[in-house]
Structure 1
Amino acid sequence: MEPLDLPLTTDRLRLRTYRESDAEEQLRIFSREDVAQFLLEDPWTTEVARTKVSERIPRTGLETESRALALVVETADGLEDIEGSRVIGDIAIWLDNDSDEKAEVGWILDPAASGHGFATEAAIAVLNVAFDHYGLHRVFAQMDARNTTSANLAKRIGMRQEAHLRKDLWSKGEWTDTLVFGMLSSDRHQA
Protein backbone atom coordinates (compact mmCIF):
# COMPACT_ATOMS: atom_id res chain seq x y z
CA MET A 1 0.00 0.00 0.00
CA GLU A 2 1.37 3.37 -1.02
CA PRO A 3 1.96 5.95 1.72
CA LEU A 4 -0.63 8.71 1.72
CA ASP A 5 0.42 12.10 0.38
CA LEU A 6 -0.03 14.47 3.33
CA PRO A 7 -1.27 16.99 4.26
CA LEU A 8 -4.72 16.55 2.77
CA THR A 9 -6.15 19.83 1.57
CA THR A 10 -9.71 20.85 0.81
CA ASP A 11 -11.08 24.19 -0.31
CA ARG A 12 -10.86 25.62 3.20
CA LEU A 13 -8.95 23.13 5.32
CA ARG A 14 -5.58 21.50 5.79
CA LEU A 15 -5.57 18.07 7.46
CA ARG A 16 -2.08 17.26 8.68
CA THR A 17 -0.35 14.83 10.98
CA TYR A 18 0.30 15.70 14.60
CA ARG A 19 3.38 17.37 16.06
CA GLU A 20 4.24 18.00 19.72
CA SER A 21 3.35 21.68 19.49
CA ASP A 22 -0.29 20.70 18.86
CA ALA A 23 -0.83 19.87 22.53
CA GLU A 24 -1.61 23.48 23.47
CA GLU A 25 -4.10 24.08 20.64
CA GLN A 26 -5.85 20.74 21.10
CA LEU A 27 -6.00 21.33 24.88
CA ARG A 28 -8.05 24.46 24.14
CA ILE A 29 -10.67 22.22 22.47
CA PHE A 30 -10.47 18.95 24.42
CA SER A 31 -10.46 20.61 27.85
CA ARG A 32 -13.96 21.96 27.25
CA GLU A 33 -16.70 20.24 29.23
CA ASP A 34 -19.11 20.50 26.29
CA VAL A 35 -16.60 18.72 24.01
CA ALA A 36 -15.77 15.93 26.49
CA GLN A 37 -19.42 15.43 27.45
CA PHE A 38 -20.02 12.62 24.95
CA LEU A 39 -16.46 11.26 24.78
CA LEU A 40 -15.20 8.27 26.74
CA GLU A 41 -12.64 10.47 28.49
CA ASP A 42 -12.77 13.42 30.82
CA PRO A 43 -11.76 16.94 29.73
CA TRP A 44 -8.03 17.07 29.04
CA THR A 45 -5.49 18.58 31.40
CA THR A 46 -2.15 19.93 30.14
CA GLU A 47 -0.45 16.62 30.98
CA VAL A 48 -3.16 14.55 29.27
CA ALA A 49 -2.91 16.77 26.17
CA ARG A 50 0.85 16.12 25.91
CA THR A 51 0.32 12.37 26.31
CA LYS A 52 -2.56 12.17 23.81
CA VAL A 53 -0.70 14.19 21.20
CA SER A 54 2.42 12.00 21.66
CA GLU A 55 0.24 8.93 21.10
CA ARG A 56 -1.16 10.45 17.90
CA ILE A 57 2.13 11.56 16.32
CA PRO A 58 3.00 8.06 14.94
CA ARG A 59 -0.51 7.58 13.50
CA THR A 60 0.47 8.61 9.99
CA GLY A 61 -1.35 6.06 7.84
CA LEU A 62 -3.32 2.83 7.77
CA GLU A 63 -0.33 1.13 6.14
CA THR A 64 1.94 1.96 9.09
CA GLU A 65 2.51 -0.08 12.25
CA SER A 66 -0.09 2.08 14.04
CA ARG A 67 -2.79 1.03 11.49
CA ALA A 68 -4.23 4.53 12.03
CA LEU A 69 -4.26 8.03 10.63
CA ALA A 70 -4.73 10.90 13.11
CA LEU A 71 -5.03 14.34 11.59
CA VAL A 72 -5.17 17.87 12.96
CA VAL A 73 -7.88 19.91 11.25
CA GLU A 74 -6.72 23.47 10.49
CA THR A 75 -8.40 26.21 8.56
CA ALA A 76 -6.47 27.26 5.48
CA ASP A 77 -4.87 30.70 5.35
CA GLY A 78 -6.89 33.51 3.86
CA LEU A 79 -10.43 32.56 4.78
CA GLU A 80 -12.59 35.66 4.99
CA ASP A 81 -14.57 34.62 8.06
CA ILE A 82 -11.59 33.33 10.10
CA GLU A 83 -8.41 35.26 10.63
CA GLY A 84 -5.25 33.32 9.73
CA SER A 85 -5.07 29.55 9.91
CA ARG A 86 -5.93 27.86 13.16
CA VAL A 87 -6.47 24.43 14.63
CA ILE A 88 -10.17 23.63 14.83
CA GLY A 89 -10.12 19.94 15.69
CA ASP A 90 -9.11 16.37 15.08
CA ILE A 91 -10.22 13.62 12.72
CA ALA A 92 -8.92 10.08 12.70
CA ILE A 93 -9.46 6.77 11.00
CA TRP A 94 -8.15 3.44 12.25
CA LEU A 95 -8.37 -0.11 11.00
CA ASP A 96 -10.73 -2.48 12.75
CA ASN A 97 -8.87 -5.06 14.87
CA ASP A 98 -9.93 -8.03 12.78
CA SER A 99 -9.78 -6.61 9.25
CA ASP A 100 -7.67 -4.57 6.87
CA GLU A 101 -10.79 -3.69 4.89
CA LYS A 102 -12.88 -2.05 7.64
CA ALA A 103 -12.07 1.10 9.58
CA GLU A 104 -13.66 3.34 12.16
CA VAL A 105 -13.69 7.11 11.76
CA GLY A 106 -14.02 9.68 14.51
CA TRP A 107 -14.02 13.48 14.64
CA ILE A 108 -13.92 16.20 17.26
CA LEU A 109 -14.23 19.84 16.27
CA ASP A 110 -14.16 23.06 18.22
CA PRO A 111 -17.77 24.16 18.83
CA ALA A 112 -16.61 27.71 18.11
CA ALA A 113 -15.98 26.65 14.50
CA SER A 114 -19.36 24.99 14.01
CA GLY A 115 -21.87 26.15 11.46
CA HIS A 116 -19.34 26.67 8.66
CA GLY A 117 -19.39 23.15 7.19
CA PHE A 118 -15.80 22.46 8.26
CA ALA A 119 -16.63 19.10 9.87
CA THR A 120 -18.44 17.96 6.74
CA GLU A 121 -15.51 19.03 4.56
CA ALA A 122 -12.96 17.23 6.76
CA ALA A 123 -15.03 14.05 7.06
CA ILE A 124 -15.64 13.82 3.31
CA ALA A 125 -11.89 14.23 2.68
CA VAL A 126 -11.11 11.37 5.06
CA LEU A 127 -13.83 9.13 3.57
CA ASN A 128 -12.39 9.81 0.11
CA VAL A 129 -8.97 8.69 1.33
CA ALA A 130 -10.46 5.62 3.03
CA PHE A 131 -12.19 4.40 -0.10
CA ASP A 132 -10.10 5.85 -2.95
CA HIS A 133 -6.57 5.57 -1.55
CA TYR A 134 -6.85 2.66 0.87
CA GLY A 135 -9.58 0.76 -1.01
CA LEU A 136 -11.56 0.00 2.14
CA HIS A 137 -14.79 -1.98 1.97
CA ARG A 138 -16.50 -0.34 4.98
CA VAL A 139 -16.08 2.70 7.22
CA PHE A 140 -18.14 3.08 10.38
CA ALA A 141 -18.59 5.63 13.15
CA GLN A 142 -19.87 5.06 16.69
CA MET A 143 -21.08 7.78 19.02
CA ASP A 144 -23.07 8.50 22.14
CA ALA A 145 -26.70 8.64 21.02
CA ARG A 146 -27.13 12.00 22.77
CA ASN A 147 -24.49 13.52 20.47
CA THR A 148 -26.94 14.73 17.85
CA THR A 149 -24.37 17.03 16.24
CA SER A 150 -22.13 14.08 15.45
CA ALA A 151 -25.04 11.91 14.31
CA ASN A 152 -26.22 14.69 11.98
CA LEU A 153 -22.71 14.95 10.52
CA ALA A 154 -22.63 11.19 9.84
CA LYS A 155 -25.96 11.48 8.00
CA ARG A 156 -24.84 14.59 6.11
CA ILE A 157 -21.78 12.82 4.69
CA GLY A 158 -23.89 9.89 3.50
CA MET A 159 -23.38 7.37 6.28
CA ARG A 160 -26.39 5.24 7.18
CA GLN A 161 -27.55 4.63 10.72
CA GLU A 162 -27.21 0.89 11.20
CA ALA A 163 -27.83 0.46 14.91
CA HIS A 164 -29.03 2.11 18.08
CA LEU A 165 -27.55 0.06 20.91
CA ARG A 166 -29.48 0.66 24.11
CA LYS A 167 -27.55 1.22 27.36
CA ASP A 168 -24.58 -0.74 26.01
CA LEU A 169 -21.70 1.35 27.34
CA TRP A 170 -20.83 2.36 30.89
CA SER A 171 -19.46 5.88 30.59
CA LYS A 172 -18.87 8.47 33.29
CA GLY A 173 -21.06 6.77 35.86
CA GLU A 174 -24.04 5.86 33.68
CA TRP A 175 -25.16 3.46 31.00
CA THR A 176 -25.32 5.21 27.63
CA ASP A 177 -26.78 4.38 24.23
CA THR A 178 -24.53 4.08 21.17
CA LEU A 179 -25.38 4.91 17.58
CA VAL A 180 -23.53 3.09 14.80
CA PHE A 181 -23.32 4.58 11.31
CA GLY A 182 -21.74 2.88 8.33
CA MET A 183 -20.78 3.42 4.74
CA LEU A 184 -19.75 0.79 2.21
CA SER A 185 -17.55 1.55 -0.76
CA SER A 186 -20.54 0.58 -2.94
CA ASP A 187 -22.74 3.20 -1.20
CA ARG A 188 -20.62 6.00 -2.62
CA HIS A 189 -21.31 4.98 -6.19
CA GLN A 190 -25.06 5.04 -5.63
CA ALA A 191 -25.09 8.58 -4.22
Structure 2
Amino acid sequence: MMIETDRLTLRPYNTSDFDAYLRMVSDPNVVQFLGGQPMPAEDAWNRLLRYAGHWAYFDYGMFAVFERSSGRFIGETGLADFHRGLGHDFDGVGEAAWVFTSESQGRGYAYEAAMAALKWYGSSADRQRTVCLIAPDNRPSLILAEKLGYVSFGNVVYRGGPFTTLERTSIG
Protein backbone atom coordinates (compact mmCIF):
# COMPACT_ATOMS: atom_id res chain seq x y z
CA MET A 1 0.00 0.00 0.00
CA MET A 2 1.38 3.39 -0.97
CA ILE A 3 -0.17 6.84 -1.23
CA GLU A 4 1.43 9.72 -3.09
CA THR A 5 0.47 13.37 -2.78
CA ASP A 6 2.02 16.35 -4.52
CA ARG A 7 4.89 16.49 -2.03
CA LEU A 8 4.76 13.25 -0.02
CA THR A 9 4.92 9.48 -0.17
CA LEU A 10 3.10 7.47 2.52
CA ARG A 11 3.72 3.76 2.99
CA PRO A 12 3.63 1.24 5.83
CA TYR A 13 6.81 1.15 7.91
CA ASN A 14 9.67 -1.25 7.14
CA THR A 15 12.22 -2.35 9.70
CA SER A 16 14.74 -0.35 7.68
CA ASP A 17 12.91 2.81 8.87
CA PHE A 18 13.89 2.13 12.47
CA ASP A 19 16.86 4.51 12.73
CA ALA A 20 14.92 7.46 11.29
CA TYR A 21 11.94 6.64 13.47
CA LEU A 22 14.11 6.41 16.59
CA ARG A 23 15.66 9.80 15.82
CA MET A 24 12.18 11.34 15.58
CA VAL A 25 10.84 9.83 18.81
CA SER A 26 14.07 10.68 20.63
CA ASP A 27 13.68 14.40 19.91
CA PRO A 28 12.42 16.19 23.07
CA ASN A 29 10.56 18.74 20.92
CA VAL A 30 8.65 15.98 19.13
CA VAL A 31 7.72 13.97 22.23
CA GLN A 32 6.69 16.84 24.49
CA PHE A 33 3.02 15.82 24.07
CA LEU A 34 3.72 12.09 23.71
CA GLY A 35 4.69 11.29 27.25
CA GLY A 36 7.31 14.01 27.46
CA GLN A 37 10.34 11.71 27.40
CA PRO A 38 12.43 10.49 24.46
CA MET A 39 11.42 6.96 23.57
CA PRO A 40 13.96 4.22 24.36
CA ALA A 41 15.13 2.18 21.37
CA GLU A 42 13.36 -0.95 22.63
CA ASP A 43 10.03 0.87 22.86
CA ALA A 44 10.49 2.41 19.41
CA TRP A 45 11.24 -1.03 17.95
CA ASN A 46 8.17 -2.53 19.63
CA ARG A 47 6.02 0.30 18.30
CA LEU A 48 7.18 -0.38 14.73
CA LEU A 49 6.29 -4.04 15.21
CA ARG A 50 2.85 -3.01 16.55
CA TYR A 51 2.36 -0.91 13.43
CA ALA A 52 3.19 -3.95 11.25
CA GLY A 53 0.60 -5.92 13.22
CA HIS A 54 -2.09 -3.37 12.41
CA TRP A 55 -1.47 -3.81 8.71
CA ALA A 56 -1.40 -7.61 9.03
CA TYR A 57 -4.60 -7.90 11.06
CA PHE A 58 -6.72 -4.88 10.03
CA ASP A 59 -5.48 -3.89 6.55
CA TYR A 60 -4.83 -0.36 7.78
CA GLY A 61 -2.35 1.28 10.11
CA MET A 62 0.32 3.92 10.44
CA PHE A 63 2.20 5.20 7.42
CA ALA A 64 5.80 6.34 7.37
CA VAL A 65 5.83 9.68 5.54
CA PHE A 66 8.60 10.76 3.17
CA GLU A 67 9.29 13.95 1.29
CA ARG A 68 8.99 13.01 -2.39
CA SER A 69 11.67 15.41 -3.60
CA SER A 70 14.38 14.18 -1.22
CA GLY A 71 13.15 10.77 -0.04
CA ARG A 72 13.75 11.99 3.53
CA PHE A 73 11.65 10.48 6.35
CA ILE A 74 9.62 13.31 7.89
CA GLY A 75 7.06 11.63 10.15
CA GLU A 76 4.07 9.38 10.41
CA THR A 77 0.32 9.47 10.13
CA GLY A 78 -2.46 6.98 9.74
CA LEU A 79 -5.14 5.18 11.66
CA ALA A 80 -4.98 2.45 14.23
CA ASP A 81 -6.95 0.58 16.87
CA PHE A 82 -4.87 1.33 19.95
CA HIS A 83 -7.36 -0.31 22.36
CA ARG A 84 -7.00 2.52 24.88
CA GLY A 85 -9.95 1.49 27.04
CA LEU A 86 -11.71 4.84 26.67
CA GLY A 87 -15.21 3.49 26.05
CA HIS A 88 -17.51 2.37 23.27
CA ASP A 89 -17.67 5.81 21.64
CA PHE A 90 -13.87 5.83 21.19
CA ASP A 91 -12.41 2.32 21.11
CA GLY A 92 -13.00 0.11 18.10
CA VAL A 93 -13.08 3.10 15.74
CA GLY A 94 -10.11 4.07 13.59
CA GLU A 95 -7.97 6.46 15.63
CA ALA A 96 -6.08 9.02 13.60
CA ALA A 97 -2.58 9.94 14.68
CA TRP A 98 0.29 12.05 13.39
CA VAL A 99 3.82 12.80 14.53
CA PHE A 100 6.35 14.77 12.46
CA THR A 101 10.03 15.57 12.83
CA SER A 102 10.96 18.98 14.21
CA GLU A 103 12.53 19.93 10.87
CA SER A 104 9.35 19.22 8.91
CA GLN A 105 6.87 20.99 11.18
CA GLY A 106 5.15 24.16 9.99
CA ARG A 107 5.24 23.25 6.30
CA GLY A 108 1.76 21.78 5.90
CA TYR A 109 3.10 18.23 5.61
CA ALA A 110 1.04 16.90 8.51
CA TYR A 111 -2.21 18.17 7.00
CA GLU A 112 -1.33 16.88 3.54
CA ALA A 113 -0.35 13.44 4.83
CA ALA A 114 -3.18 13.05 7.35
CA MET A 115 -5.83 14.13 4.83
CA ALA A 116 -4.49 11.63 2.29
CA ALA A 117 -4.56 8.85 4.89
CA LEU A 118 -8.08 9.78 6.03
CA LYS A 119 -9.42 9.82 2.46
CA TRP A 120 -7.83 6.43 1.79
CA TYR A 121 -9.20 4.97 5.04
CA GLY A 122 -12.65 6.48 4.48
CA SER A 123 -12.92 5.06 0.96
CA SER A 124 -14.47 2.02 2.65
CA ALA A 125 -18.17 2.69 3.39
CA ASP A 126 -17.97 1.03 6.82
CA ARG A 127 -15.11 3.29 7.96
CA GLN A 128 -16.55 6.79 7.90
CA ARG A 129 -16.15 7.82 11.55
CA THR A 130 -12.68 8.29 13.01
CA VAL A 131 -11.48 9.62 16.35
CA CYS A 132 -8.35 11.13 17.81
CA LEU A 133 -6.96 11.88 21.25
CA ILE A 134 -5.04 15.12 21.86
CA ALA A 135 -3.63 16.76 24.98
CA PRO A 136 -5.45 20.07 25.52
CA ASP A 137 -2.17 22.02 25.61
CA ASN A 138 -1.06 20.59 22.24
CA ARG A 139 -2.36 23.57 20.26
CA PRO A 140 -0.68 22.64 16.95
CA SER A 141 -2.38 19.21 16.90
CA LEU A 142 -5.73 20.65 17.95
CA ILE A 143 -5.52 23.19 15.13
CA LEU A 144 -4.58 20.45 12.67
CA ALA A 145 -7.44 18.25 13.89
CA GLU A 146 -9.89 21.10 13.33
CA LYS A 147 -8.54 21.66 9.79
CA LEU A 148 -9.04 17.94 9.15
CA GLY A 149 -12.69 18.22 10.25
CA TYR A 150 -12.47 16.87 13.80
CA VAL A 151 -14.73 18.22 16.54
CA SER A 152 -14.46 17.63 20.27
CA PHE A 153 -16.90 15.22 21.87
CA GLY A 154 -15.45 15.00 25.36
CA ASN A 155 -12.55 14.97 27.75
CA VAL A 156 -10.89 11.98 29.37
CA VAL A 157 -8.02 11.14 31.66
CA TYR A 158 -5.59 8.81 29.93
CA ARG A 159 -2.39 7.58 31.60
CA GLY A 160 -2.82 10.17 34.31
CA GLY A 161 -3.24 13.21 32.07
CA PRO A 162 -6.11 15.17 30.55
CA PHE A 163 -7.00 14.64 26.89
CA THR A 164 -9.63 15.85 24.48
CA THR A 165 -11.47 13.26 22.41
CA LEU A 166 -12.38 14.31 18.90
CA GLU A 167 -14.33 12.73 16.07
CA ARG A 168 -14.68 13.12 12.32
CA THR A 169 -17.71 11.63 10.65
CA SER A 170 -17.02 11.99 6.95
CA ILE A 171 -14.25 11.55 4.42
CA GLY A 172 -14.88 14.85 2.59
Query: Do the structures match in fold with TM over 0.5?
Result: yes
Q: Is the 8 A contact 2:28 2:36 kept in 1?
A: no
Q: Is the 8 A contact 2:78 2:114 kept in 1?
A: no
TM-score (ref. length: structure 2): 0.84
Q: Deviations over 1:105-141 (max 9, x none)?
A: 1111112111110000011011101211364131011
Q: How many residues align?
A: 167
User: Which letter does structure 1 place at the counterpart of 2:79?
Assistant: I
Q: Does residue 1:17 correspond to 2:12, yes or no?
A: yes
Q: Is the 8 A contact 1:96 1:104 kept in 2?
A: yes
Query: Which residue, 132, 136, 142 being the options, matches 1:141?
Result: 132
Who is 2:158 aligned against?
Answer: 169
Who is 1:89 aligned against?
Answer: 75
Unmatched 5+ stretches in structure 2: none
Between structure 1 and structure 2, the one with the greater Rg is 1
Q: Does residue 1:105 correspond to 2:96, yes or no?
A: yes
Q: CA RMSD, aligned part only?
A: 2.5
Who is 1:33 aligned against?
Answer: 28
Q: Does residue 1:71 correspond to 2:57, yes or no?
A: no
Q: Is the 8 A contact 2:60 2:121 kept in 1?
A: no
Q: Does residue 1:184 correspond to 2:162, yes or no?
A: no
Q: Is the 8 A contact 1:67 1:94 kept in 2?
A: no
Deviation at 1:47, TM superposition (A): 3.0
SS for the counterpart of 1:85 is: coil
